[in-house]
Amino acid sequence: MKNTFQKTAFITGATSGIGKATATLFAKRGYNLIVTGRRSERLLSIKQKIKKKYAVRVKALAFDIRDKDACKNAYMSLDREWKKINILINNAGLASGFDPIHRGQLDDWEQMIDTNVKGLLFITRLVSPGMVKRKSGHIINVCSTAGHEVYPRGNVYCATKHAVDAITKSMRVDLYQYGIRVGQISPGHVEETEFALVRFHGDKNKSKIYEDFVPLNSKDVAETIFFMATRPKHVNIQDILMMGTQQAGSNHIDRSGRN
């Protein structure tokens, strides 16, 4: 393996969707990767595929991001070189359930809050001190259009993404003095992900929400994250709000067909 440690990207939630597409693109462009997710077999298979195709180093850490001890153990398992993380992409997250507030399931709410908000915070708390010490680093949080507006039945998912928006801004005001860039990406609907399947608890029929319009796909988002990550040092993109052409907002989608 001739690749030496140059740049390392830590990407949470890389077993599918946006995280997997982002990991693949960063590897293609020569970044070493730390990839995470709960599904260890899938994570290992992604690691093997990436290593076979691209001359980069890949570390796979399988753990549940809701568990703060598991986050800590995973991070502490990295040696000194691996801990020099240049880019942290806080991507792991989900929507669970699609109920109006008066019928919401408390388990769904807890899962979203624990993953999208607390998980993101746990990982940031572990990785950011090294960035502060080195006075360099870049953190990109995966927010959503749901972090900017709400829609019927979106309630708690939208609240978690509004929290991500606030956390991104707060992280930036705490970290910019150390030369650390903090930004977020806020996509609308994205296919080639398991997002809808997870939201509808594995119900394949209900998860067919992209059949009558063309949303973004996971590679569109990965390329935009890569663009954010590769601007010159003096440029920090704070947020990119992006949607498919047939989507004008959370509540405005042209569902007249896949044009």
Active site members: 157
Residue 229 interacts with ligand NDP (CB under 6 A)?
Answer: no
Closest CB to ligand NDP among 95 and 180? 95
Is position 145 an interface residue for ligand 8X3 (rule: CB under 6 A)?
Answer: yes
User: For tokens 């590769």, what's the residue?
Assistant: 230
Q: Is the CB of 10 or the CB of 210 nearer to ligand 8X3?
A: 210
The residue at minimum Cβ distance from ligand 8X3 is 144
Nearer to ligand 8X3, 63 or 195 (CB): 195
The mark string for 32-71 relative to ligand NDP (x by CB under 6 A, - otherwise) is -----xxx------------------------xxx-----
- Does position 189 bind ligand 8X3 by CB under 6 A? yes
* Nearest Cα residue to 96 out of 9, 200, 212, 245: 200
Residue 24 contacts ligand NDP per CB under 6 A: no
Binding residues vs ligand 8X3 (CB under 6 A): 144-146, 154, 188-189, 250
